[in-house]
């Protein structure tokens, strides 16, 4: 008798907890899984972040007989006028939020069934940072889905080790590496520390990282919920405490200290083949020391020494590209699943169109309205921006008349 492949949605914490051992067995068949796909990561995200804010649990599973083929931990949150089904995570939406799928002949069917189930959970299905290609989603409104892509630079572990590999980096980067290390050493005794060696240091560094991030946001008059309200650091503290000792896939907190004082630190995700640099901070009051660059160097070195690649993660900023050997593309998709989901997804299309218009028009604005751009960049009040506009126009008119 052929076993049927059946999807199901787990909606209670009791059902969630009962899945732990099967989830671990499934992950053992997926050797390249990330920390964000583990049971403990999602369990902490549910009890620490999602459940207290009124979300509803919706863990999508697919089985073939008694065998678990797929786990996709989602939750449903209510927003203005609509609901969104999205991955359980630390609220930053920065995870590689990939369903855990058992490799083999039934993988494609299991994924299709899970997606069909997920599109029935809420008004919008939000899927972040999928590898290879956008996660396919059906339904009558799928053609109206909003998609975007970004790249993750990766430093690929060489056979010959870090020193030989660093010799292939741009000459300017190699010079900066030597200069920054010398500056730090002149400032005091430099040490590279990890939560693997000092568990208490991991917690200390998490608090330090989020304190620096909050300072950065305040200076720029911004807020980001998972940083500003303290929920992000609470999540990482509990994750560190709940990760089993000796786990291969685990959070790893690293930092550079000068005379035992942190000057840069990062929360990384360690897996079987990569070390992911999830979030990093440095002491801006000592920016001239280049502590952030030294931390990057140490993280890449650590990854290579442990037989891992170093994944700089999403957003290919210039400082990451100098270290990377290749880039992987990640895809995000917002799928309207009901009529109520059309408006919020449409708003994303509009925001993207505006950003593209702004990008295309910026060279013209820089040429003809430099004063306005300068005033806005420095957060001047509207009256000062208007004065700058008048001055730019006065400068333009004679130029055109001549």
Residues 155-174: tens digit of each pLDDT: 999 998 899 999 999 999 99
pLDDT score for 316: 81
- Could you give the count of Cα atoms lying within 13 Å of 320 in the half-sphere of its Cβ? 21
CA separation for the pair 60, 71 (Å, rounded):
6
Question: How do 82-87 and 124-131 pair as beta strands?
Answer: parallel
Q: Strand pairing of 100-101 and 67-79?
A: antiparallel
pLDDT tens per residue, range 274-295: 999 999 999 988 888 889 999 9
Token code pair at residue 301: 């070195």
Tell whether the model's pLDDT for residue 1 goes beyond 50.
no
pLDDT at 140: 84
CA proximity to 281, closest of 253, 242, 302, 306: 253
- Confidence band (pLDDT; 50, 70, 90) for 401? very low
Average pLDDT on 238-266 reads 94
Residue 183 confidence class, pLDDT cut points 50, 70, 90: very high
d(CA 55, CA 59) in angstroms, rounded, equals 12
40 burial level (CB within 10 Å; 0-12, 13-18, 19+): buried
How sure is the predictor about 186, in pLDDT bands with cuts at 50, 70 and 90? very high
The pTM is what? 0.87
pLDDT band at 398 (very low <50, low <70, confident <90, very high): low
* Structure token pair of residue 119: 């599109």
Model confidence band, residue 245 (pLDDT cutoffs 50, 70, 90): confident
Q: How many CB atoms lie within 10 A of CB 31?
A: 11
- Among 98, 149, 89, smallest CA distance to 278 is for 89
C-alpha closest to that of 283 among 302, 301, 309, 265: 265
| Complete DSSP assignment for 280-310 | EEE-GGGGGG-HHHHHHHHHHHHHHHTT-EE
pLDDT bracket for residue 305 (50, 70, 90) = very high
Enumerate residues 6+ apart whose C-beta is below 8 A from 141: 335, 336, 337, 338, 341, 342
CA distance from start to end of the chain: 88
The length of the chain is: 402
What pLDDT is recorded for position 3? 66
- The residue-averaged pLDDT of 223-252 equals 91
Average pLDDT over residues 212-238: 91
Rounded to whole angstroms, the Cα distance separating 30 from 225 reads 32
Q: Which residues contact 118 (CB under 8 A, 6 or more apart)?
A: 58, 60, 72, 74, 85, 125, 137
Question: Which strand (E) or helix (H) includes residue 400?
Answer: helix 382-401
- Give the list of residues 6+ apart from residue 370 with CB closer than 8 angstroms, or none: 392
d(CA 360, CA 347): 20
Phi, psi of 175 (to 5 degrees): -65, -40
Two tokens, residue 341: 């989901």
pLDDT for residue 400 is more than 70: no
């Amino acid at each position: 008798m052929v076993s049927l492949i059946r999807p199901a949605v787990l909606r209670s914490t009791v059902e969630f907890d009962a899945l732990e051992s099967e989830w671990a067995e499934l992950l053992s068949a997926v050797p390249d899984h990330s920390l964000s796909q583990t049971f403990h990561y999602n369990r902490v995200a549910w009890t620490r972040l999602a459940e207290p804010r009124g979300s509803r649990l919706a863990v999508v599973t697919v089985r073939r007989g008694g065998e678990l083929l797929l786990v996709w931990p989602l939750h449903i949150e209510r927003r203005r006028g609509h609901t969104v089904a999205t991955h359980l995570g630390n609220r930053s939406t920065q995870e590689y939020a990939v369903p855990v799928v058992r490799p083999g002949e039934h993988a494609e069917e299991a994924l299709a069934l899970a997606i069909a189930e997920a599109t029935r959970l809420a008004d919008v299905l939000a899927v972040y940072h999928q590898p290879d290609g956008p996660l396919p989603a059906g339904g009558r409104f799928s053609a109206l889905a909003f998609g975007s892509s970004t790249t993750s630079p990766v430093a690929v572990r060489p056979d010959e080790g870090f020193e030989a590999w660093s010799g292939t980096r741009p000459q300017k980067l190699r010079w900066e590496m030597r200069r920054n290390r010398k500056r730090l050493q002149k400032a005091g005794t430099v040490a590279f520390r990890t939560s693997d060696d000092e568990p208490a240091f991991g917690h200390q560094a998490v608090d330090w990282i989020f304190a620096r991030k909050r300072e950065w946001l305040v200076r720029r008059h911004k807020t980001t919920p998972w940083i500003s309200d303290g929920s992000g650091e609470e999540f990482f503290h509990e994750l560190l405490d709940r990760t089993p000792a000796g786990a291969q896939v685990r959070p790893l907190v690293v930092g550079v200290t000068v005379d035992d004082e942190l000057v840069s630190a990062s929360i990384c995700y360690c897996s079987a083949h990569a070390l992911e640099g999830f979030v990093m901070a440095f002491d801006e009051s000592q920016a001239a020391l280049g502590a952030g660059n030294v931390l990057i160097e140490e993280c890449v070195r650590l990854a290579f020494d442990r037989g891992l690649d170093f994944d700089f993660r999403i957003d290919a900023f210039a400082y990451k590209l100098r270290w990377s050997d290749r880039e992987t593309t990640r895809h995000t998709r917002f799928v309207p699943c009901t009529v109520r989901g059309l408006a919020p997804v449409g708003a994303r299309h509009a925001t993207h169109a505006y950003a593209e218009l702004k990008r295309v028009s910026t060279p013209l604005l820089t040429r003809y309205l430099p004063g306005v751009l300068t005033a806005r960049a420095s957060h001047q009040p509207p009256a000062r921006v208007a004065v700058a506009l008048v001055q730019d126009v006065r400068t333009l008119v004679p130029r055109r008349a001549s």
